[in-house]
């Protein structure tokens, strides 16, 4: 398991991707699914930084054939996919997560204000 506190800035997604890549390197996850996991990590962390509240924390748990990514932030609102127009620069992140992950969702943190947005990838 990996637990990583992230700075709430533009570099957070890059730091998170690097950490997840290290965790998944020896997991047996096929390269295409590792790439999917990097994209999902970027989207979850970016959403937490842009729309959530600090602190932001990434947790990664692996079991054979499965990785669970959880990103914590202090915002109370749950994320929801939204339609994006062809000229919009953003708004497709959760649709990407929905497409690449085997499952995803949101759950309140049990011990403090905020929530976890999670995604599971299987292979």
Answer for the pair 57, 8: CB distance below 8 angstroms, yes or no. no
CATH of the domain at 7: 3.30.565.10
For residue 9, tell me if it sits in a domain: yes
Q: What is the pTM of this model?
A: 0.93
Specify the number of domains making up the chain: 1
For residue 105, tell me if it sits in a domain: yes
CA pair distance 82, 39, nearest whole angstrom = 18
Q: Residue 97 belongs to what domain range?
A: 2-80+93-122
- The more confident residue out of 79 and 57 is 57
Answer for the pair 116, 56: CB distance below 8 angstroms, yes or no. no
Q: How many Å separate Cα 45 from the centre of its chain? A: 5
pLDDT tens digit string along 59-103? Answer: 999 999 999 999 999 999 998 877 777 776 777 889 999 999 999
For residue 88, tell me if it sits in a domain: no
CA pair distance 79, 28, nearest whole angstrom = 31
Answer for the pair 117, 79: CB distance below 8 angstroms, yes or no. yes
């Amino acid at each position: 398991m990996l637990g990583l506190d992230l700075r709430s800035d533009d570099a957070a997604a890059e730091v998170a991707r690097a950490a997840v890549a290290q965790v998944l390197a020896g997991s047996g996850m096929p390269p295409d699914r590792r790439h999917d996991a990097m994209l999902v990590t970027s989207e979850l962390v970016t959403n937490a930084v842009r729309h959530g509240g600090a602190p932001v924390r990434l947790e990664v748990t692996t079991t054979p054939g499965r990785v669970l990514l959880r990103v914590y932030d202090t915002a109370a609102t749950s994320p929801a996919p939204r339609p994006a127009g062809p000229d919009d620069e953003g708004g497709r992140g959760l649709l990407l997560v929905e497409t690449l992950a085997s499952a995803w969702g949101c759950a309140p943190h049990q011990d403090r204000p905020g929530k976890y947005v999670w995604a599971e990838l299987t292979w």
